[in-house]
Amino acid sequence: MTDSDPLQELDEPLAEDRQSEESGVAVPTAERPHAERPSADVPDPPSTRTEELRTQASDVDPAFKTLFWKLVFLYKIAVLGLTLGILLWVFDSHPTRGPALTVGGVLLFLYAIELTRRGKARLDAGEFDLETEN
């Protein structure tokens, strides 16, 4: 900085804040608290029954798995179609697609409900080979 810089005085501490060794004034020091370090030991995760669950999942009747995933797919598409149909219908974005998607979603729901009832009846009749050890 130059000698004519008016901000030069701001860079230096105030006279009462300056402490020199000549004055003999002791500067008080404070002890800093030290935080405890966490241990590096990571606990073992709780035991899982992955192998047992995998063998149980592979023992399920393939027809039952197919029915289950078919119902999951139908319900998801029905919810999607019904929701989009209502949104398009209410907001007049597509006046013909909204009602068509709504009706399609309702029909898919009805079909999925009927398949669920048939599957439940087949399950109750013992048609699927489901041996549970519980």
Question: For the residues of 60-106, what is the DSSP string, one character each?
Answer: S-HHHHHHHHHHHHHHHHHHHHHHHHHHHHHTTSSTTHHHHHHHHHH
Dihedral sign computed on CA atoms, order 59, 63, 69, 75: negative
Mean pLDDT value across residues 104-133: 89
Q: How far apart are CA 104 and CA 88, in angstroms?
A: 13
Most confident option among 15-24, 91-100, 124-133: 91-100
Least confident of 37-51, 56-70, 95-109: 37-51
Residue matched to tokens 């008080």? 28
Whether pTM > 0.75 for this model: the answer is no
Going by C-alpha positions, the residue among 65, 55, 67, 46 that lies closest to residue 133 is 55
Least confident of 14-23, 61-70, 114-123: 14-23
Mean residue pLDDT across the chain:
80
Mean pLDDT value across residues 26-47: 74
Residue matched to tokens 């709504």? 102
- Does the pLDDT value for residue 40 go beyond 90? no
- Does the pLDDT value for residue 42 go beyond 60? yes
The percentage of the chain sitting over the pLDDT mark of 70, rounded to a whole number, equals 75
- Does the pLDDT value for residue 51 go beyond 90? no
Mean pLDDT value across residues 3-19: 63
